[in-house]
Amino acid sequence: MSTPRFQLRSSIGKKLLNGITGVLLLLFIVAHLAGNLTIFVGKDALNAYAATTHSLGPLLIVIELGLAAVFLAHAGSAISVWRDNQAARDTRYAVSKSKGAASKQTVASRTMIVTGLVLLAFLILHLWQFRFGPTTPAYQTTLPGHAGEVWNLHLIVVETFKNPIWTALYVAVMILLGFHLRHGFWSAFQSIGLLNPKLRPLAFSAGVIFAIVIAVGFVLLPIFVFLAHDPNAGVA
């Protein structure tokens, strides 16, 4: 009888792990985007979002460690599956084919490992800037309904995206994220066995729509801050 560890190391096990962690990351991305878009309500709304998150205390650390484990498991399983696929190929074909139907392979699907690694590197930069950003008194502010001072995330966002280089970088990476999600969305559900042949075309189209919505949502924030006449005032 095969053990869970052995099953996890199998090709099916790796794809299943990649699919499960992929779905979890899709949910996280949606939640993170929703939090980011509070900037369009106003600077207090964004700072309240940050303050609420930080108020979780030790629970926040547990959540972040869990997310880190999911990210690493997703990246590790993706790299392992990619290496298995590379090793299984005796030759490279100029045109990819699928038995019995047109191939679903696209540029996005064939470059998933590259875009994934770029996004992983960007994530480290993103955490350095916004999760572990400056905490000096200059980056503290008051917030209606909150006792004492809170972290001024809005100020950090404004300082970052008033710089055209950072704005251009974030816009480019968010477009790349959409490109990655273009294939990753339906592939995640396919890997965990939730898609039958009838549902695959629908999931494929839903993946395109999802990728566009997420990319546009994340791109709007840096562009809004960069173009705003008075970004410190937010939208009121």
User: Do you know the residue count of the chain?
Assistant: 236
Please tell me the predicted confidence (pLDDT) of residue 105: 62
Rounded-to-integer distance, Cα 87 and Cα 95, Å: 18
User: Residues 203, 186: contact at Cβ < 8 Å?
Assistant: yes
Please tell me the predicted confidence (pLDDT) of residue 11: 77
Which residue has tokens 């006792």? Answer: 147
Residue 34 identity (one-letter amino acid): A
Rounded-to-integer distance, Cα 155 and Cα 136, Å: 12
Burial class (CB in 10 A: 0-12, 13-18, 19+), 199: middle
- Of the candidates 142, 152, 167, 140, the one whose C-alpha atom is nearest the C-alpha of residue 228 is 167
Please tell me the predicted confidence (pLDDT) of residue 231: 52
**From the CA atom positions of the chain, what is the Rg in Å?**
21
Angstrom CA distances, 201 to 65, 95, 207, 208, stand at: 35, 21, 10, 11
Find the farthest-apart pair of alpha carbons in the chain and give their distance in angstroms, rounded: 66
Give me the tens of pLDDT residue by residue for the chain, a chain 236 residues long.
Answer: 445 544 666 778 888 899 999 999 999 999 999 999 999 999 999 999 999 998 898 999 999 999 999 999 999 888 888 887 777 664 454 444 444 444 556 676 777 888 888 999 999 999 999 888 887 888 898 888 787 888 899 999 999 999 999 999 999 999 999 999 988 898 888 888 887 788 888 888 999 999 999 999 999 999 999 998 555 544 43
> Tokens standing for 167?
């704005």
Please tell me the predicted confidence (pLDDT) of residue 68: 93
Please tell me the predicted confidence (pLDDT) of residue 89: 65
Residue 90 identity (one-letter amino acid): D
